[in-house]
Amino acid sequence: MTVSWTPHRFTGGILALDTANTVVLRNDPEKTFDRFADPAEIARFAEAASGFRAAELGGRRLEAPEPGGIAAVVLSIREATDRLFRHAIAKGAIAAGHLPDFLTACANGLSGSSIEISAPGRPFGDPATPIAFEAALAVSALSLLRDDTVPRLRICPNCSWLFVDRSRNSSRLWCD
């Protein structure tokens, strides 16, 4: 089934959370489903995210020309990100025991990449060239470890999506 990658699908506030939210209704085993069950959706998601996450990406386009070839890495980053930050939200702290899987998944996303990241004003590198989706996903996921981000992470009580609460007084409860 082809997914319609609309703005609503990008309410996590950051690429890594939008990707974690591609598993719908994680809290309901009878209703949950994976929007990346068809690896072709990874490429379509990356294309849509290039627009919806343009500010985060510094205008850099995402590319996923061989989604079947990167699916295992993308899913590994997605699941490690979800596990680490869902636990951090519930417990108020990052579980050190979840970090090795998370860091390994992110390292695999960056493995073999020759990109340069984190230049001032260009966190994802040169906006004139595309970036591999799995590399951008790893950078986005790692950025969630910043001190100012973790306290603003939330789980929507309705759909169980993860999102960053960027409201002035950090009081947002719902994902949209």
Q: For residue range 131-143, what is the model confidence (pLDDT) as tens digits?
A: 999 999 999 999 9
Is residue 48 domain-resident? yes
From CA 44, how far away is CA 51, in angstroms rounded?
12
Q: Does 60 map to a domain?
A: yes
Q: Under DSSP, is residue 59 helix (H, G, I), strand (E, B) or coil?
A: coil
Residue 1 is assigned to a structural domain of this protein: no
Structural domain of 122 = 7-164
In a domain, 170, yes or no: no
Residue 172 inside a domain? The answer is: no
Q: How many structural domains are present in the chain?
A: 1
Phi, psi of 140 (to 5 degrees): -60, -45
**pTM score, two decimals?**
0.93
Q: What is the pLDDT of residues 21-38, one digit of tens each?
A: 999 999 889 999 999 999
Looking up tokens 């510094």 gives 58
